[in-house]
Structure 1
């Protein structure tokens, strides 16, 4: 197999340089979230080539379809051929109130990957999302009226539930990964649920993206560029919010919060809620919160508003957020 042609090789090397990810020592382990699909297969081969003997594959068995058992057999075969250790965990994703099956499956998957990474003392879990996935994410965010965080798409590196994750191939088109695997004779599986148009992302992939590609062939790269611009703008807003919160305190003091203009108030409150509890208020909720903060001019004035599954209230001269018990 001519692995030097794997487009993930160069992308992974560049990602490592950008994020200064240089695992030291023979005992350092890097993981790949390995579904058996084309994208994660290409990433696993690139990681195995870069760190031979120091890569572990993590596979999540969702139990949502009959083919899941076949996926496990396939990933065992691939990992056996490579000499890569494989860890498998079964999960059952149940959607909570107001949560879609897609979001529930994603939440369960990341929770399982985080547990597996911690148990295996993994330094970072590499994911296989590529440029097409990034474009779909941006379009999905736009269709929902998301702000800059949504328009920024998926980040190249992030931490979730104590585990570090990386997406080294966000700039690589999915077609390039599949073409290389096909030419190299490397087998991979196709998840039949990817064509199930009951899911919004699949409808975007199957209907909207082909039409967009016909009208504007470079749309995928353009959306990725827009996502990077949005991420840069959001980073600046986060820096401003951190400066404001250093003055306001955490939790923020109401009087000092009122001294800021409305846009900076909203920016600081979003940051406070995101950092402290990982929640984001809707546009309507934030507007009402800013109204209540602005009207809070007397000692006995009450603030009480539902945000996500918790509540923001007034405690003395400060705001307080109480997550659900």
Structure 2
């Protein structure tokens, strides 16, 4: 006997039954209306996490102004709290993508630790996604289409209806006399997904009735293949993730040598896996930047610019610098009455271990030509001292230099340059990490 839609839903959601809360992405359309009704009904007979719904209002069409009221009415009738979020869609080349980005930012903002956001994408959505990405030349990761679950903020996004056909959703909605919104934009063939849905898929299913089912199955196979590629990437990255010589510099980095010994395909696979948590991935043509970075001479300090930051190579290590890495003023700060620690605008903080030195202290940043007295070595050019220490070039402009009047006293974190001649104090710097605002 074929299981009911409710039974299928419970089975898919069984791993998430102990979550602190379930939030339903409720557009008011057919798919999310069925999902909301199913869960609200099940909550009366099953022990489920607290349910709520969230409706994102994009403000892109006049008809949408009435949708929050409809969603509120449906939620009130089911006894499910509703949160309505109004977002600003940033203009760009793709209105579809901009609206999606705004929507998922709103979802992420409302999803707490361990909580689940449930969305109503179904089997045909999965098939359309696969075909759409295939036409765009996506790789295995893209062709795996939509995962059944993925991290979202501090919780997870779960798509429990990916194995459900539109016909099953329609039948459930009619059986329970549900009312839903028909979005006029879903018929606009200028949008690629609508063109696939209304022009391409009907022709495919006319010739191959099981086309959507088989395409969705292919997406599952590709998802499994991507899982194996991710396992291989973790094996290849294990040695490359060895710690750098600068534990205070909390930026993602990899040792280059373990990667250079891999085949070209394994290098790209490992780097895609590592970069996927940091930036939007480059297309095939832009991977030449990786080759240039990898093969540059050790003293060349090459960089590879990506969508959300850049990779820099220093000696035999590659470092990820988010786009906001250079977003600090570099202005001098008075430290005559030392606060310990001293907060640096957009640059973390500095602090003393031991008794702070006396006098008119200040924090400055490199301008070039700095000279420092080093015990036992006399006066030395700071640039040469930093070269000797191996401090990566990209961080040198952010090093907070300690001055007393016009005398350079210390460079934090650099052995031999961070302490007083008597050893009664030591200067430390804690730069911002990606988690603290550099992402």
Q: TM-score scaled to structure 1, two decimals? A: 0.89
Q: How many residues align?
A: 309
Give 3-state SS (helix, strand or coil) of 1:77's partner: helix
Selected match of 2:143 from 121, 137, 151:
151
The structure richer in helix per residue is: 1
Q: Which moved more, 1:243-252 or 1:5-14?
A: 5-14
1:160 is displaced (CA, Å) by 2.2
Deviations 1:251-305 (A, max 9, x none): 2222221111111111111111112x14212111123413541x23x43234222
Residue 15, structure 1, aligned to residue 12, structure 2: yes
Selected match of 1:188 from 169, 174, 180:
180
1:241 is displaced (CA, Å) by 0.6
Give 3-state SS (helix, strand or coil) of 1:42's partner: helix
After superposition, the Cα gap between the structure-2 partners of 1:195 and 1:122, relative to the gap in structure 1 and judged at 3 Å, is farther
Residue 135, structure 1, aligned to residue 136, structure 2: no
State the partner residue of 2:230.
238
State the partner residue of 1:253.
255
The 1-side partners of 2:240 and 2:96 are apart by: 37
After superposition, the Cα gap between the structure-2 partners of 1:116 and 1:292, relative to the gap in structure 1 and judged at 3 Å, is closer
Selected match of 2:171 from 172, 179, 202:
179
1:150 is displaced (CA, Å) by 1.2
Deviations 1:129-184 (A, max 9, x none): 00111111001000000001111110111112333111000011112211221232
Q: Which structure's relative contact order is higher, taking Cα pairs within 8 Å and 6+ residues apart?
A: 1
State the partner residue of 1:289.
290
Residue 101, structure 1, aligned to residue 95, structure 2: yes
Deviations 1:10-29 (A, max 9, x none): 33112123xx22227xxx43
State the partner residue of 1:268.
270
The structure richer in strand per residue is: 2
The 2-side partners of 1:149 and 1:7 are apart by: 32
The 1-side partners of 2:66 and 2:91 are apart by: 25
- 8 Å CA contact 2:115–2:154 kept in 1: the answer is no
State the partner residue of 2:51.
55
1:206 is displaced (CA, Å) by 1.0
RMSD: 2.0
Residue 212, structure 1, aligned to residue 204, structure 2: yes
Residue 115, structure 1, aligned to residue 112, structure 2: no
Give 3-state SS (helix, strand or coil) of 2:62's partner: coil
The 1-side partners of 2:192 and 2:64 are apart by: 22
After superposition, the Cα gap between the structure-2 partners of 1:122 and 1:236, relative to the gap in structure 1 and judged at 3 Å, is closer
Q: Which has the larger radius of gyration?
A: 2
The 1-side partners of 2:64 and 2:161 are apart by: 25
- 8 Å CA contact 2:301–2:315 kept in 1: the answer is no
State the partner residue of 2:321.
322
State the partner residue of 2:409.
none
- 8 Å CA contact 1:61–1:91 kept in 2: the answer is yes
State the partner residue of 1:279.
280
After superposition, the Cα gap between the structure-2 partners of 1:6 and 1:177, relative to the gap in structure 1 and judged at 3 Å, is farther
